[in-house]
Each structure stands twice: as structure tokens, then as C-alpha cells.
Amino acid sequence: MIAEIGQYALALAFALSLAQVILPAWGARRNDPVLMSSAGPIALALFGFIAFAFGALVQLYVTSDFTVVNVAENSHSQMPLIYKITSTWGNHEGSMLLWVFVLAFFGALVAEFGSNLPDRLKALVLAVQGAVAAAFLSFILFTSNPFARLVPAPAEGRDLNPILQDLGLAIHPPLLYLGYVGLSISFAFAIAALIEGRIDAAWARWVRPWTLAAWIFLTLGIAMGSYWAYYELGWGGWWFWDPVENASLMPWLAATALLHSAVVMEKRDALKVWTILLAILAFSLSLVGTFLVRSGVLTSVHAFATDPARGVFILAILTFFIAGGLTLFAFRASELKQGGLFAPISREGALVLNNLFLTAATAAVLVGTLYPLALEALTGDKITVGPPYFNLAFGGLMVPLVFAMPFGPLLAWKRGDLMGVAQRLMLAAALAVVAAVVIAAATTGGPVLAPLAVGLAVFIMLGALTDIAERAGLGRVTARVALARLAGVPRSGYGTAIAHFGVGVCLLGIVCETGWSLEKIASVKLGDTVTIGARSLTLDRLENRTGANFRARTAVFSIREDGAPQGTIEASRRMFAARQMATTEAGIRTFGLSQLYVSMGEESPDGHISMRATYKPFVTLIWLGAVVMALGGALSLADRRLRVGAPRPATKRPRAPVPAE
Amino acid sequence: MTRKGRRLVLIGAGLGVLALAAGLILSALTDTIVFFRSPTEVAQQQVAPGARLRLGGLVETGSVVKSGTLTTFKVTDGNATVKVAYSGILPDLFREGQGVVAEGALQADGSFKADSVLAKHDEKYMPREVADALKAQGRWQEGGPAPGAASPPAQRAPGS
């Protein structure tokens, strides 16, 4: 019964989404305030119906109702409750439902909190949102019905893919979708602005918080996914350049670019056309990502769907929105008036450079991701574009970008003084060189470039601190004045510095992990000891354990550093009976910021187990850096100027006085 | 600087970055792509020893030999087999009779030295390239049970 009600709610939601397109758009055309104002309530109702359908599916999973195909294929009565809930979106149908749920959630937010938006803009934005919702709801209803019944019902479900039975999965997709789908708001605003043919700094002020919020979720979602792959897949890799990962990285890069160009538009009324284009591209890349993951064109951990009908359907949706958006852009962009002149060496110039590199890097990732698919379709040749390509193409574009990063915030608007900025960054640069030299002298082995990269990371972090110190006039004014100035720095100023600092932290983690990881592969029996760096691992015992729905074979190693015991580390292999599938549970111990990572292979009849132990120095910085970035974004989002976002004329902003040179 | 001059600088910077990106992408693509080959293709075509490639097929039943961390096995597509040597931990899904993709290089003696072995599929599906290669050899029909698959796909209700 619940399944039928859920499906009915979805069908009603589809009808509502069509109404959300037609009524407000028609109202905007006829300038009818009543029709236009219908958008808000419809969007709220749409959210209500989709939330109900989603809740219904969760309920079916919780009660293990195997008369529903989706539940029978992805759940198991003996699974812990938390995984029963998370399996709701651990499959194709459920994750698409989560997708539209998040979409409707954002639509409801615009309806609820967009009271300061001009009526026409709000109506058009919600109409565009409605169109996206209608497209994906029809996709669910016609190709991926999560509520389809199964006759006869099996006594037991087929279980969730064991590698997905993990808390990381509980958080990863919702976070990622909040980011992916959040970009639909920027897209809707861009399309609405093009239809209106009018765009100004106030527009950027409305769009920026939404983009920023989506960006924060996307950042956290990607970091979460990376950490999940790291500890769950048992290989110890944190980024594989897998198409599914690229699918989330590309919108992130585009959103990062959009975030920065929106600043220029808000502050200086420049780069309007470019910002609109980026808003369209960012959401287009979200759609491309959804297509890659959900159509089954890839073989990968995440791509569980293998139905070509779905692929064609999503491709049609994708083509409609991307081609439609770009066509509208081509016709209307010339009507947007350009403003705000600036010299090449200026804050705006730096942000343009940022955008150029970020979009070029996005293109590099896109080419690497789609090239194998295109080549196979055209010539039948099967190729892999792996990490070497991405490291070279993506890394090559990232290095100049991050090197330029500390310069940007220090440059003045309109016309900057590059020499002056370079002077102010002198201390940071000097310390970075010292760090690189010390590292080069202190370490043996590792890539030649690694100490240089450490220097770069240090430069970025110190550069971010320099930005704040300069705003306070540290060293030039008394401590009291400096403190007062620090308090006066707007939150978005701190946000920028912290987010940029986070990039440095992340880079430092990446460099240390890649450059100086120690790895040992061995075949050991009880009592054997393996040394890795300063630590030794002794296989103490092998045990059989049982979980709710699996049996595990666990190897317990005791850790010693220079003879002193440091506790134990447990690696295991789990066997899931329902799917006859084994997973590797790596043992991970954190020492400071570094981690020891042990995974266990098969056990041979004579009692030997193969094992791999890796010591990963400063590996946690990779994810901590991402969290710091998100924190910076959150702080920027909390800035009063952004939160108010009122359509008032751009008055003089309260800013920390720029110290005289 | 005039408006036009500024625009020229902007366009110049854009073209510069574009050229850099295009150069990096093209050079990286030519140097780093890895082709997928089935054992039959390896046997028929002259693949130079040392060139990186991905070899895919089924792990021949009874061919897996382990000694310490070194594993040797044969990859077959029914017509030809290639002997593979791999040192390290095999993925959870590595099993005799199942699909596998090994990445590495062909040695002068015709054997294959793998530095990574992938078996990233669940019981129902095999790696896409392997499935295609097997179909090309007439060893597996679409819709039929995958060779070596442990369980047949679940029956779907009509109309679902």
C-alpha cells in the first residue's frame, strides 16, 4: 500500500512540476502578479509530495518490504537498521529519487527565503527549477520506478552491495547531491536572467550564496567520497581518476570558477556574460556527471545501472538543458551590458586568470573522461586514460593556478601593483624556500619535485595568512589597532583566506602521501614480523568473527615503534553470504596526521596470509584541507552582506582600511 | 590602457592558457593512454614487449599458482591464453573462471607482468571490456549466463 501511495505522490509531483513551469512563466509573460506568485506555493507543494514519496521508500526499506523490486534487490532483513535506511539511495532508482528530492528542497528554499527577489525573477527561477524537476520526475516514472512490485515476492532480499554497507555511504551521496543539484539554482538564475535580458550586481549577490552553499556541499561530498574509497576499497588510494570521481570533480571546478567570477560581477559589475556562461556550464557538468554515473556507460564501482533505455533518456534531458541553455545564451548574451573596466594587473585580472585555469583544468578532466568513450564509439578501440594523463594535464594546469593564488587577494581592485604584492609576499616566499630546502635535505628517496611541491604548499598557506596580516597592518601599527582591524575584517575576507589556506593544507597532504609513502607487501604466518619505517607489525592472531550479515576473518597485528608497543591494528576480510561476495576491511591507525594502513589478502592452506602495509605520512591533511576549504566557504556564507542579499544599491562596504604603502 | 588594449590582453591571456591546456592535454594523451587487448589480440597482433596495455579475459580454471606474494595465472578468452605474473594482494573478486583485467606490460618471453589487477565487478556483471571481448570470440551470448557466474540474475516481475 505504501509503495502505491509513494508512486501516486510521485505522479502528482510530476503534474505539479509541470504547473510550476507553465503558470509562473505564463504569468511572467503576461506580467500577471497572481500567476507569478503561484510559483512559491507550487514549489513548496512539490517538495512536500516528493518528500512524501522519498519517506515512503525509506519506510519500505526499514520494514524490509520485499514485495517491492527495489527493496528486494538491494536490501536484506538482517542488515543493520542504519544500512537499511542508507540502501534507499544505494541503488539507481533510489538515488534518482534522492536527486529530485534535493532538487525540490532547493526549489522550496528559493520559494521560502526568496522573498526579497523581484517577482518576475523569482517566478522565472522557479519555472526553470520546475522544468528540471519535471524532466527528472518523468525519468523516474517512466524508466526507473522505485516502487515497482515484485510477484511473487521473495522471502529474502538480495542484500546491498557489501562495499556500500558503510557509514561513509550514508553521508557521501546526500552531500554530493546537495552540491550537484544546488548548482541547478545558479543555472535557473542564469536562464531567468537571460530570459529577462537584464542582469546586474544584485543578481550576483543573490546567486553567490546559492553557489557557495552548493560548493561547500560538493567539497565535503567529494572529500567524503575520497575517504570512503580510501578506507573501504582496501587499496589505500584516495583518488583514482575514475570517471565517477571526475563526474563530481568537474562541477566542483566549474563551481569554484563561478564563485570567483561572481565576486567580480558583484563587486565590479564586470564579467557578466562569462558568469552567466559559467553558471550554465557548472550545472551542465552536474548533468553530465549524472549521465555518466546513472546511464551505465561506465563500468565502475558506482555505476550499478546497466539499462541503455535510461542512458538515452538522461542523454535527452542533458541535451535539452545544455543545448537549450547555450542557445538562449547565444541569442541573449549580447543584450547584457558590459561594465566595470579593469587593468590586466588587478584583483579582477587575477580572478580572470583563476577562471581561465579552472575552466582549462575542467576541460582537461572532461577530455580525459570522455575520450575513451568517444574513441570506443568511433573506432571500437578500447583504451584507458589513467592517472598519468590526469597528473600531467590537470596537475600542469593546477600548478600555475595555485602559485598565483596568494597574489590574487592582495591585489587591489581595478588596478593593482604586482611589485608591491610580491614584496608583501616576500616573507611567505622566503619561508617556503626554506621549507623546501629543509625537506630536500632531510629526506632521502621520494620524487625530486616533492620538496618543491611542499614549498608551494607552504607558500599558499603562508600567503593566505599574509592576506589577513596585511589587512590588519600587522607590524606597521600597534597591536591594539591591529586587533581592532582584525575584528573589522568581514567574514568573507576570513573565508577567502581560510579556504585558500585549506588548498595549501590539501596540497601538502597530497604531496607527502604521494612522495613519501612506505609500502611493504609480504606473506606472513602467525608470529611473523614486518617492519615498515620505524614501526614493526607482528601477526598475533587470526580470528573468525561474525557480524549481522557477514562472517569475517580478522588478522590482528601488534604495532611496535622502536620496541615500544603501540597497540594493535586489525585487518579483515568479510564474506557476505547473501551475495557470496568478499570485501576487504583495511586496518587503519592514525598517528598524529599520518596513518598506518594494513590490508589483508587471501589465506593460503599452510596458514600464510598475504598482507600489504602502508605508512602514509600526513595523509589526513588531504581531507582536513578539504574540510578547511568548506569551513572557509561557510564563513563566507555567514557574511552579513551575503546573507542579507537585499536588492539595495551597492553602497560603500565596511572594509578594513587598506594600509598605505 | 585603452578599452581595446585591455580586451586584447584578456584575449591574449585566454588564448595563452588555452594553448597551454591544449598542449598539455595532447601530449599527455599521446603518452599515457593504455589500450585494452584480449589474449587473442595479443596473439594475433605484434604487441611490442614493454608497451603498457590492459589484458582482459577469464582467469583460466586451475591455472592460479601462488608462492608467497607472487601469483601467476593464465588469462584466456577461449582461443588464446596469456600467462600473467603479479606480485601483491589480489582483489576480493579475483577468482578462477571469473573475469579479470590486468594492467602491465608484455615481457620478451610472451608472458605478461601485471602491476595491477582489477576485478571491480559484482557477481552478475563482468568488466565491460571482458564481456565484449568474450562476445567477439563467440564465447558468451548477451542475456545468457556469464561463464563462471555464481548465480543467475534475479527474475524480474513482468512489467516492472
Q: Is residue B145 part of a domain?
A: no
pLDDT confidence band for B127 (50 / 70 / 90): low
User: What whole-number distance in Å separates Cα of residue A239 and Cα of residue B27?
Assistant: 22
User: What whole-number distance in Å separates Cα of residue A104 and Cα of residue A44?
Assistant: 8
Q: How far is CA A584 from CA A446, B71, B116, B119, in A?
A: 28, 18, 16, 13
The burial class, CB within 10 Å (0-12 / 13-18 / 19+), for A44 is middle
| Interface contact A397-B20, CB threshold 8 A | yes
Three cell numbers written together for A125: 527561477
The residues facing A576 across adjacent strands are: A550, A581
User: What whole-number distance in Å separates Cα of residue A636 and Cα of residue A495?
Assistant: 5
pLDDT confidence band for A251 (50 / 70 / 90): very high
Q: Is B4 on the interface with A (CB under 8 A)?
A: no
Are B45 and B86 part of one and the same domain? yes
DSSP state of A539: E
- Indicate the residue of B54, B69, B123 with minimum beta-carbon distance to A580: B123
pLDDT of res. A299: 53
pLDDT digits (tens, 9 = 90+) for A556-614: 999 999 888 989 999 998 888 877 778 888 999 999 999 999 998 888 888 888 889 99
Q: Which of A415, A355, A561 is nearest to B17 (CA)?
A: A355
pLDDT of res. B126: 58
Q: Is B150 on the interface with A (CB under 8 A)?
A: yes
pLDDT digits (tens, 9 = 90+) for A41-87: 999 999 999 999 999 999 999 999 999 999 998 898 888 899 999 99
Helix/strand/coil for A617: coil
What's CA B36's distance to the chain center, in Å?
A: 5
| Interface contact B92-A150, CB threshold 8 A | no
Interface with chain A: mutation pick from B32, B59, B90, highest number of A CBs within 10 Å: B32
pLDDT of res. B140: 55
Number of domains in chain B: 2
| Interface contact B88-A612, CB threshold 8 A | yes
Range of the domain at B25: 1-31
The residues facing B65 across adjacent strands are: B72
**Is the separation of the CB atoms in A156 and A66 below 8 Å?**
yes
User: What whole-number distance in Å separates Cα of residue A433 and Cα of residue A451?
Assistant: 9
Q: What is the mean pLDDT of residues A447-466?
A: 93
| Interface contact B92-A581, CB threshold 8 A | yes
Q: How far apart are the first and last CA of chain B?
A: 67
CB-CB neighbors (< 8 A) of A381 in chain B: 35
User: What whole-number distance in Å separates Cα of residue A486 and Cα of residue A578?
Assistant: 59
- Indicate the residue of B6, B28, B32 with minimum beta-carbon distance to A344: B6
Q: Is B69 on the interface with A (CB under 8 A)?
A: yes
Q: Is residue B126 part of a domain?
A: yes
Q: Which of residues 121-140 of B touch A (CB under 8 A)?
A: 121-123, 125, 127-129, 132
pLDDT digits (tens, 9 = 90+) for A119-131: 899 999 999 999 9
3-state SS, A59-125, equals HHHHCCCCCEHHHHHHCCCCCCHHHHHHHHHCCHHHHHHHHHHHHHHHHHHHHHHCCCCCHHHHHHH
- A647 pLDDT higher than 60: no
Q: How far is A389 from chain B (nearest CA, A)?
A: 5
Q: Is residue B72 part of a domain?
A: yes
User: What whole-number distance in Å separates Cα of residue B99 and Cα of residue A375?
Assistant: 23
Q: Is residue B13 part of a domain?
A: yes
- Indicate the residue of B18, B32, B125 with minimum beta-carbon distance to A386: B32
**CA Rg value for chain B:** 22
**Is the separation of the CB atoms in A529 and A504 below 8 Å?**
no
User: What whole-number distance in Å separates Cα of residue A446 and Cα of residue A391?
Assistant: 17
Helix/strand/coil for A609: strand
Amino acid at A359: T
Q: Is residue B15 part of a domain?
A: yes
Residue A601 main-chain phi, psi, to 5 deg: -100, -155
Q: Is A393 on the interface with B (CB under 8 A)?
A: yes
Are B48 and B27 part of one and the same domain? no
| Interface contact A360-B90, CB threshold 8 A | no
DSSP state of A155: S
- Indicate the residue of A73, A344, A356 with minimum beta-carbon distance to B9: A344
pLDDT of res. B143: 44
What's CA A632's distance to the chain center, in Å?
A: 15
Q: How far is CA A381 from CA A216, A290, A376, B34, B48, in A?
A: 39, 25, 5, 11, 17
**Is the separation of the CB atoms in A39 and A30 below 8 Å?**
no
User: What whole-number distance in Å separates Cα of residue B150 and Cα of residue B148?
Assistant: 6
pLDDT of res. A571: 92
Angle at A69 between CA A66 and CA A70, to 5 degrees: 95
Q: Is residue B144 part of a domain?
A: no
Are B69 and B96 part of one and the same domain? yes
DSSP chain B: --HHHHHHHHHHHHHHHHHHHHHHHHHHHHHH-EEEE-HHHHHHS-PPTT-EEEEEEEEPTT--EEETTEEEEEEE-SS-EEEEEEESPPPTT--TTSEEEEEEEE-TTS-EEEEEEE----SS---HHHHHHHHHTTS--TTSPPTT-SSPPPPPPTT-
CB-CB neighbors (< 8 A) of B129 in chain A: 299, 382
Q: Is A558 on the interface with B (CB under 8 A)?
A: no
Are B16 and B95 part of one and the same domain? no
Average pLDDT, chain A: 88
Helix/strand/coil for A587: strand
Are B42 and B67 part of one and the same domain? yes
Are B80 and B1 part of one and the same domain? no
**CA Rg value for chain A:** 27
**Is the separation of the CB atoms in B103 and B54 below 8 Å?**
yes
pLDDT of res. B138: 63
Q: Is residue B19 part of a domain?
A: yes
Q: Is B46 on the interface with A (CB under 8 A)?
A: no
Q: What is the mean pLDDT of residues A24-29?
A: 92
Q: How far is B21 from chain A (nearest CA, A)?
A: 6
Look up the CATH number of the domain holding residue B122: 2.40.50.140
Q: Is B32 on the interface with A (CB under 8 A)?
A: yes
pLDDT of res. A115: 81
Q: Which of residues 565-594 of A touch B (CB under 8 A)?
A: 573, 579-584
Q: Is B154 on the interface with A (CB under 8 A)?
A: yes
- Indicate the residue of B17, B121, B123 with minimum beta-carbon distance to A299: B121
Cβ-Cβ pairs closer than 8 A, A with B, add up to: 149
pLDDT of res. A660: 40
| Interface contact A382-B151, CB threshold 8 A | no
| Interface contact A343-B90, CB threshold 8 A | no
pLDDT digits (tens, 9 = 90+) for A170-179: 888 899 999 9
pLDDT of res. A102: 96
Q: Which of residues 134-193 of A touch B (CB under 8 A)?
A: 145, 148-151, 154, 158, 161
Q: Is B116 on the interface with A (CB under 8 A)?
A: no
Check residues A304 and B118 and name the one with the higher pLDDT: B118
Are B23 and B46 part of one and the same domain? no
Are B23 and B86 part of one and the same domain? no
| Interface contact B120-A299, CB threshold 8 A | yes
| Interface contact B92-A584, CB threshold 8 A | yes
Are B70 and B54 part of one and the same domain? yes
User: What whole-number distance in Å separates Cα of residue B132 and Cα of residue B128?
Assistant: 6
Check residues A627 and B146 and name the one with the higher pLDDT: A627
pLDDT of res. B135: 66
Q: Which of residues 304-333 of A touch B (CB under 8 A)?
A: 306
Are B24 and B66 part of one and the same domain? no
- Indicate the residue of B88, B120, B132 with minimum beta-carbon distance to A300: B120
**Is the separation of the CB atoms in A496 and A636 below 8 Å?**
yes
Going by DSSP bridges, is the β-strand pair B34-37/B52-59 parallel, antiparallel, or unpaired? Answer: parallel
| Interface contact A388-B32, CB threshold 8 A | yes
The burial class, CB within 10 Å (0-12 / 13-18 / 19+), for A443 is middle
pLDDT of res. A641: 62
- A656 pLDDT higher than 70: no
Q: Is residue B79 part of a domain?
A: yes
pTM here is: 0.89
| Interface contact A396-B24, CB threshold 8 A | yes
- B131 pLDDT higher than 80: no
Annotation-wise, does B86 bind a ligand? no
DSSP state of A651: P
Are B57 and B71 part of one and the same domain? yes
CB-CB neighbors (< 8 A) of B93 in chain A: 581-582
User: What whole-number distance in Å separates Cα of residue A325 and Cα of residue A149?
Assistant: 38
Are B2 and B61 part of one and the same domain? no
- B61 pLDDT higher than 50: yes
Residue A567 main-chain phi, psi, to 5 deg: 85, -165
Per-residue buried b or exposed e for A385-422, using 16+ beta carbons within 10 Å of the residue's own CB: bbbebbebbbebbbbebbeebbbbbbbebebbeeeebe
Range among A275-284, A412-421, A577-586, B136-145 with highest mean pLDDT value: A275-284
| Interface contact B154-A383, CB threshold 8 A | no
**Is the separation of the CB atoms in A145 and A93 below 8 Å?**
yes
